[in-house]
A and B are shown apart, each in its own frame.
Chain A
Amino acid sequence: MDNNIKRKLKSVFEAPMPAKKDDFLNQLDYPKASRLDFIKSQAGYIRKQVWVLSLLLFIGTLILMYYFEVSDSVIWILSSALPFISLVSIGEIFRSITYNMDELEMSCKHNFLEISLIRFGILGLANLAVLISLLILLAGKTDFGFFRLGLYLTTPYLLNCYGSIFAVNRLKNREIVYVCGVVTASVSILNALFTTQINDIYTDKYWSFWIISFIILAVFSYKEILKLIKKMEELKWSLSLTV
């Protein structure tokens, strides 16, 4: 319509007040975010300390490599530090329970299980990226090779994952993250003691020990993760919330 006519119409005709405007607006669906938007938003809610710790480990490795020759010491130091990355990740996943947000999150469209799985996925990928970066940095500097070095670094990490999720699956309290902290510290100290006390731990003599440990821990961790997902699906957390 011509602007001039519009103006004239406005001047001669007073438009009535909108009737039931709010009712009409209430009927409209609000614009919804896509699943990808939701995943991106969740990545933004992961605390900075998780990324900072991963970055510190990576920078620490670079410094170690710059000042020292890559030896068994570098490997035990890194393999003892890696469980702490998994601790921060586990703490992040169970933040809802620690801060009593789980009940609210369970009632939302994207519920607690979905949020936890997305956090699992994002943090798992981040941990994997850190691990692969470390392996790429170190593999060329040692005689071990990529696969063998991966085994030495990931076995204590897997032991920590298994121990922490084992505890999470069996304990029902909001301070579970402190229990995981104790598990992580124990794994780290044990790994340091074990690898420094046995001089030839990284030799062919113990090769089968590393492979068997890795396979057993991988299978056990996988089983515990499945248990954890089932537990979340069954909403058993609620039992601990109910008075």
Chain B
Amino acid sequence: MELIIDRLTKQYKNKIAVDRISLTLNKGVYGLLGANGSGKTTLMRMLCGVLKPTSGEVKFNGIDVSQEEYRDSLGYLPQDFGYYPEFTAYEFLLYMASLKGLAKQSAKDKAKELLELVSLSDSAKKKIKTYSGGMKQRLGIAQAILNNPKILILDEPTAGLDPKERVRFRNLISQLGTDRIILLSTHIVSDIENIAGMILIMKDGQIVHKGGLDEIIKAIDGRVFECTVDAGEAGKLISMHTITNFRQENDKTFLRLICDKSPCENAISVKATLEDLYLYYFKEVNTDEKLF
């Protein structure tokens, strides 16, 4: 089982959204991390055959992304999806099952099984328009796995889920990831930290870093510090370094920051996390956002 992405590029007029990405994905869960506009959604759309690449190719076990056989092996949850207003959750799953080529009886069985799995059995006959954001998201996850896909692509799957639902979702993904390729993107760093065996960090249309959690945070190992300083010193440190945590403690300020050497006398070196790394890589994006 091998998904090969070869020099995949997407260009919109003078903006390159995805820039010559080459990757080989095997069985397992891959987490795609990146700021808004880094090209994650564009990459995922190209992997689903929804968007035509400007150049490059995507092949699963030798089958091109444009072929029906490829789509037969695919499950996709877009960032934002709609539904026909007259549909109930059960009807929606039957409709999606028909598009995925399932026979009528197996579509009914599978729809019931998945509604149970995502805890929507009690609301199966209710119109989707009455659902909350979390319920819609769970329904979206159910439709993505209707055809038992070999490639599962999930764009922001945990958006709108409450903490309990997120934990259940993580468990489900870990279970599914044992015998298929799962690529998921999210802004919630802890989701990636907990589920993904391989992390891909995307910036300006390119994969700037990839690897397992321990391997990937090595880049900032020994460079994460925590300290408690007075207001004047805090202001100085904030202007000079990437701050990953900030807290007011009585008349002092607690800071967690990334810098090449100890920033002050009482600073202690701590273990880096994926969130530190994320904030380190996207510090320019955060600075830009501050401008607005």
Binding site for B on A (CB under 8 A): 23, 26, 30-33, 37-38, 41-42, 45, 47, 95, 99-101, 103-111, 115, 234-235, 238-239, 241-243
Measured between C-beta atoms, what is the minimum distance from B205 to chain A in Å?
13
Bound form: Cα–Cα A243–B41 in Å: 9
Query: Smallest distance from the beta carbon of B145 to chain A beta carbons, Å?
Result: 11
Stretch at the interface among B76-84, B196-204, B271-279: B76-84
Which residues of A sit under 8 angstroms from B84, Cβ to Cβ? Answer: 95, 99, 101
Interface residue ranges, B against A (CB under 8 Å): 12, 17, 37, 41-42, 45, 48-52, 68, 71-72, 74, 76, 78, 80-86, 95-96, 98-106, 110, 143, 147-148, 179
**Which residues of the other chain, B, contact A30 by a CB distance below 8 angstroms?**
102-103, 106, 110, 147-148
Whether A110 touches B42, Cβ cut-off 8 Å, given contacts A95-B84, A238-B51, is: no
Interchain CB contact under 8 A, B50 and A238: yes
Q: Which 10 A-B pairs have the closest CB atoms?
A: A100-B82, A108-B99, A107-B76, A31-B103, A41-B98, A238-B51, A107-B48, A109-B101, A106-B50, A99-B82
Closest to A103 in B: B78
Sample of 16 A–B contacts (CB below 8 Å): A30-B103, A33-B102, A41-B98, A41-B104, A99-B82, A99-B84, A99-B85, A103-B45, A104-B81, A106-B48, A106-B50, A234-B52, A235-B50, A238-B50, A242-B12, A242-B17
Most buried by A among B98, B103, B104: B98
* A238 adjacent to B96 (CB under 8 Å): no
Chain A residues, Cβ within 8 Å of B179? 23, 26
B85 touches A235 (CB 8 A): no
> Would A107 and B71 count as touching, CB distance under 8 A?
yes
Report yes or no: B45 in contact with A242, Cβ–Cβ below 8 A.
yes
How long is the Cα–Cα vector from A239 to B37 in the complex, in angstroms?
A: 15
User: Complex: how many Å from CA A111 to CA B76?
Assistant: 13
* Contact indicator B50/A31 (Cβ below 8 Å): no
Residues of B contacting A23 with CB < 8 Å?
A: 179
Contacts of B12 in A (CB 8 A): 239, 242
Look across to chain A and name the residue whose beta carbon is closest to the beta carbon of B81.
Answer: A104
Pairwise interchain contact A37-B148, C-beta atoms closer than 8 A: no
Check A33 against B103 for contact (C-beta < 8 Å). Answer: yes
Q: Which residues of B are found within 8 Å of A239, using beta-carbon distances?
A: 12
A93–B285 Cα distance when bound, in Å, is 41
Q: Are A31 and B82 in contact (CB under 8 A)?
A: no
Q: Taking A103-B81, A239-B12 as given, write out 20 further A-B residue pairs in contact, using a Cβ cutoff of 8 Å, ordered by the A residue number.
A: A31-B105, A32-B101, A33-B98, A33-B103, A37-B103, A37-B104, A47-B86, A99-B85, A100-B80, A100-B82, A104-B81, A104-B143, A105-B99, A108-B99, A110-B98, A110-B99, A110-B100, A111-B99, A238-B45, A238-B51
